[in-house]
Each structure stands twice: as C-alpha cells, then as structure tokens.
Structure 1
Amino acid sequence: MISYEPRERWRPNAATLEHLRRKVDGGRDNRDNFAAACKDCNNRRGKRDWLSYTSIKRNEF
C-alpha cells in the first residue's frame, strides 16, 4: 500500500512509485513507466537503469 501519511513516508520500506525509465532519460509520467518499489530501493537505484539495478539486486551479475 502506498501511503501519503507523513509519518509513513519516511520509513525505509515505505512503498513508492518508481519511474522505470527515469525522467531525465526521457521517461514520462504514465502508468506504463511506473513500478512499485520500497523507498530504500528507489533511492539506491541512483543513475542506473531499472533493468541493470534489478539484476544487480538479484546477484545476476
């Protein structure tokens, strides 16, 4: 569940919407470009594309 309660948004495992293709890379704000991710993962992804980050997180490299 994605919560908009201020006290819930600061938890590391709070649910967030993540852009699969970052806006700076030409991604748009449409539902095909969003995925649910915990806040910690969303923040740690940094400049990596979504597929690379997911593969690294799963130890596929």
Structure 2
Amino acid sequence: MERNAWRKSTRSGNNGQCVEVCNRGHLIDVRDSKAPESGMLSFEAAAWGAFVGSFKAEATCG
C-alpha cells in the first residue's frame, strides 16, 4: 500500500458508498469517501492487517 495517499478498494463500485484508507507507516487511517471532511479513524498497522486478513481468510473459506 502506498504511503500517505488515500485510496479506495479496487472492488468498490461507483455508488459513492466506500471507505478510503491511507497508510502512514505505523498507522492506517480510514475515512468515509463521500464525507472525507468528517474525520477519520486510525488503527495500528498490525491491527488493521489482522482485521483485513480476517476478511480475506473468510472469503477463501466459503
């Protein structure tokens, strides 16, 4: 993931119902793409990786 650049999932549609993520190295920021001025949540990179990894594991199981 590129650092310090906001990006949406490649699986996101064009309906505007997306979240964006920004990799700041030790932190991952997450915001609502349709209201970026509303703020963001920040997660430690390891916690975000575990969160995303759990979805990837679930997708391969079923």
| Global fold match (TM > 0.5) | no
Which has more strand, going by share of residues?
A: 2
Which has more helix, going by share of residues?
A: 1
What TM-score, normalized to structure 1? 0.29
State the structure with bigger RCO (CA 8 A, min sep 6), 1 or 2: 1
